[in-house]
Each structure stands twice: as C-alpha cells, then as structure tokens.
C-alpha cells in the first residue's frame, strides 16, 4: 500500500467505513476492507503521534509548554 498523507488516509478510511456499514458485500471483500481500514487507522495514529512530538519539540525550543 502506498503511503498516503493524513487527509487522504482519513478520506479513504471514511469510504471504507461507508462500504462496510452498507453491508451486502462478500465476506472476502469485507475482510480485505477491514484489513485495509485497520492499516490506515494505524498509519493515521502514527502520523498524529509524529505531529504531536514535533509540536512538543518546537514548543520546548521556544520555551513554551504545549497544551495537552
């Protein structure tokens, strides 16, 4: 799977959720979508963690404490 930016990954994840909620999919397709969605969710969480770390580092360099 190619690396998507955060916004594109969230958009794809939303599309997957809509398909899964719509039902009427073969089990194999549902499982593949679930697997893709799980990977996207993990990737989004990692990107958010990295952004939070960067914000914390920048705030510390500036002598500020970021609001948690």
Q: How far apart are CA 68 and CA 25, in angstroms?
A: 41
Give the predicted TM-score (pTM) of the model.
0.79
**66 located within any domain:** no
Does 8 score more than 50 pLDDT? yes
Confidence of residue 55 (pLDDT cuts 50, 70, 90): very high
Considering only CA atoms, which of 57, 56, 59, 18 is closest in space to residue 37? 18
Domain count, the chain: 1
**56 located within any domain:** yes
Determine the average pLDDT of the residues in 47-61: 94
Confidence of residue 30 (pLDDT cuts 50, 70, 90): very high
| Structural domain that includes position 30 | 6-61
**67 located within any domain:** no
Confidence of residue 1 (pLDDT cuts 50, 70, 90): very low
């Amino acid at each position: 799977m190619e690396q998507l930016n955060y916004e594109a990954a969230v958009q794809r994840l939303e599309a997957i959720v809509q398909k899964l909620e719509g039902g009427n999919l073969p089990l194999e397709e549902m499982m593949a979508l679930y697997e893709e969605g799980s990977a996207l969710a993990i990737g989004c969480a990692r990107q958010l963690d990295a952004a939070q770390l960067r914000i914390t580092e920048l705030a510390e360099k500036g002598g500020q404490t970021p609001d948690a």
